[in-house]
Amino acid sequence: TSTLSGKTALVTGSSRGIGRATALGLAREGALAAVHYGRDKQAAQQTVDLIEKDGGRAFAVGAELGTPGAVDQLFHQLEAGLREHADETVLDILVNNAAATTPAGSVPEEVSAEQIDEIFAVNAKAPFLLVQRALGLIPDGGRIINISSAVTRMAEPSQVVYAMSKGALDQLTLHFARHLAPRHITVNSVLPGLTDNGSAVFQMPGAREQMSQLSAFKRLGEPEEVANVVVFLATDRSRWITGASLDATGGSLLG
């Protein structure tokens, strides 16, 4: 069944990883997907190609979040793409997925003020501005889904700034859920645990083995497994859930 046919969706950072799987999942349910990327246009085009091969519809939009004018740039392309592929500029589903991460092995004592600004700009400020800007396009019954992280619930000192920024993102979920309820727009967070996004660190056997221990199932998550939760939140079936954080960690927080 195509639970999202006739709907449109923007997934930030869907050139790869969880974002790509999410754009694929939403398109598989019938949504027209705007595939956003920061730097890797080619990878975004690959996502679009994968969706089309799968019988879905998509187009790419590029903007480096955290830089001046990025949100305007993104919406300019989004509106043009919607006009071309869907006639009207309605956005039913916004998924704030793009994020900047702290380099592995960083210690809190060595984080610079500039790094803090950059991470907050991409992970917290940009999603706020995207929601604010999207509200003009989101109809009653729309969906906003913010991709947070399990590190908001589990101490990991090397990720303190990243976790702070995701904590801020969860506040966006909480307060906008109340604000948008009169319009039946739901706002929720999804908390992935360690998920194999294809990057090098997840391919190193030793590191992979060690990271797998975190989940109760003793393996890494797959992007599709997180995407499935996002797709559920995007559908009408989730209409009674708002302001919530859904755990997509494979039991990593069970203790």
Question: Which residues make up the interface to ligand NDP (CB under 6 A)?
Answer: 13-19, 37-40, 43, 64-66, 97-100, 122, 147, 149-150, 192, 194-195, 197, 199
Smallest distance from the beta carbon of 147 to ligand NDP, in angstroms?
A: 4
Smallest distance from the beta carbon of 64 to ligand NDP, in angstroms?
A: 5
Catalytic residue, chosen from 37, 75, 162, 176, is: 162
Q: What's the CA gap between 169 and 135, in Å, rounded? A: 17
Q: What's the CA gap between 81 and 75, in Å, rounded? A: 9
Please calculate the CA angle 127-215-170 and round it to the nearest 5 degrees.
Answer: 20
Q: At what angle do helices 160-180 and 113-120 cross, to 10 degrees?
A: 30
Q: Which is nearer to ligand NDP, 150 or 172 (CB)?
A: 150
Q: Tokens 């043009």 map to which residue? A: 80
Q: Which is nearer to ligand NDP, 58 or 147 (CB)?
A: 147
DSSP strand pairing (245-248 vs 186-192): parallel
Q: Which is nearer to ligand NDP, 8 or 252 (CB)?
A: 252
Smallest distance from the beta carbon of 252 to ligand NDP, in angstroms?
A: 10
37: annotated active-site residue: no
Q: What's the CA gap between 69 and 185, in Å, rounded? A: 26
The residues assigned a catalytic role are 162
